[in-house]
Structure 1
Amino acid sequence: MSRNPRIAILWHGDRESRNHATAKNNKFSKIFEEFQQYNIIAEPAVYNDEFVDEVQLQLSQVDGVLVWVNPIEGGRNRSILDEMLRDVASSGNFVSTHPYVILKMGTKEVLFQTREMEWGGDIHLYKNIQELREQLPVRLADGSSRVLKQNRGNGGNGVWRVEFVDGTGVQRTDPIIRVLHALRNSTEKEMLFSEFINQCEAYFAGTGLMIDQSFQSPLPDGMVRCYMTHNEVVGFGHQYVTALLRPQSGSEPLQPQPRIYHPESKPEFQSLKTKMESEWIPQLLQLLDIETKSLPIIWDADFLYGPKTSSGEDTYVLCEMNVSSVHPFPDSALPKLVKNAVAMITNSQK
């Protein structure tokens, strides 16, 4: 080649952020540095729907783009961004994560699609508000808590813990339910079932849907986040999550605890690593009809601990996958993330 390959690092921001972005004044600075080892020119590409054409022109002049944009940013979804990224990818440029992969892996629907896998469980899908209205009371009738999740979201937005206030709810026309939103600083509320259903209508707009999963307490072992680049585990994060836990009466909402990062060699998580690489990722690829090379450059899967086996081994329950904007991540992931991105750029130029 007559020039060094170029890759754009894209994240969401405003006009001022775009005008002043450098390789050093943002949270992705280590990624920019790592690309220098391969003589790859990495450049910032701050994105906003307001200047999508400008960003698309920039991306048309590079060889690849790594994207870190949440499903919902500033109250807006990714529809305009994803359409632009499809156009960029159709010209032969490498894009990760590609929007079509996000639609397959990065929505809560994947929990339903993989419910028969070892990480699955008691999971249901509501395609419309009528199904939610009719079927949810039946699943709450045993007095248990359910977790409802909108199909696309982040930061706990649209994730609810729901239960009847008393055990007779299913016998009442409009029972009272107790709900807790997973958004930070949310407080538990009691409301009529009909009120909550009306509140959920927005989640079914367009092609929206909701997933219903049995509540799995994160106590006492916390949540394990498994980080991957393509089909290889590159690190772990462990956190005592509090999002859907009730505080003591009269107390403030529980605050999230810090996530502690570990390399992929962490002894406690080797059984999970083996399961992911040798069993679960191959099964996932087959179920979703995705090629290994199309997997995201960086993605993760969140697991709560299930009941131990008769021999005392840990089991895991999948809570969600994150493929749109995985950051931060363990330091151990960075070299392999960049190495895989370089390989994808090289292959796209052949």
Structure 2
Amino acid sequence: MHSFPMFIRTTNRRVVIAGGGEQAAQKARLMLKTDAKLVLLAPVLDVELADLVATGRATQDAGPFTPEHFADAALVFIASGCPGLDAALHALAKAAGAQVNVVDQPSLCDMTTPSLVDRDPVVVAIGTEGTAPVLARRIKTEVEQMLDPRLGSFAALAGRLRGAVAAHIPKPDRRAFWRWAFADAPWQLHKTGQERAAADLLKRTIATKEVPDRQGQIAFVGAGPGARDLLTLRAVERLQEADVIFYDGRVDPDVLELARRDAERVFVGNVPGTHIWPGERISRLILAEAAKGRRVVRLESGDAGISGHAKETLDAATAANIRVEIVPGVTAASALAAASGQQLSGGRDPQPAFRSAIAAGQNIGV
């Protein structure tokens, strides 16, 4: 990445927009989604911007401009419509130490504005570092379709209840509470328009502390041949839900990037030059973590559905009444055949596909 994505707090801070025409108005519309104090630097404003000043949503400064106009601003947008004037204003803003975006001049930009999917307070920002705005808008459209329109209001409700949860729900149970809230009855009620019923259910559960049981779960997840875009959707979901992940050296590091940042990661060896953990030790640790009520993932390259390591853990978990799930991955045979442009079919010997892929020097990550 050449740019690091992050969210900048705007409460009680100024956002300065230099310009009084349509380009400045476009930036103002974007910033109106925030609670920033908008400052418009221009001697003349178009009717839209003038209305923002008249209604008290923004203030105007007609100049002349100095670096002090840009000092301590959270963000600065320069959009006068004149390249020469934009460059001069950019110099003033940088003299004040501001972070600046100059419209249509990427070389003068410290930051770029992303495409936003707004489910306030849930916001998804999509950026292409200025290289492909059309692609960013296309991705935005796809994400808009994925996220329920009521998601933001439910997230806001959850935010209002965080203090009560911290006060009444024991810390070990809180993750289970929030997992239940966002994946089970409360969210289902809210997104079908039963907001009052959802809020009442959450508050009642907080008051009674009758959190759904924290049941441990084990998922054997196949990481496939290596490329993370070959993982199944279910595999990605299990990684993002996991409290602890047991993985070995054959798993591509990019796959682990899909897991929750705070998930515990346990390396179990199986890479040249390292000690390989015995299968019974891995099985024992997995069962112990699940017995604590944690969600455990055993991440293996290839297809976990045909792994010989799962059976002993599966048998022990069944005896202990712990839920076990096997999430298949793309097998090496399928990946090699695809890499060599051959099709596997019933009764067909996969060895020619293996041999041709190897002869071609193709790397499929197995």
TM-score tier (shorter): under 0.3
Query: TM (normalized to structure 2)?
Result: 0.22
**Which gives a bigger RCO, structure 1 or 2 (Cα 8 Å, sep 6+)?**
1
Query: TM (normalized to structure 1)?
Result: 0.23
Q: Judging by fraction of residues, say which structure has more strand.
A: 1
Which of the pair has more CA radius of gyration? 2
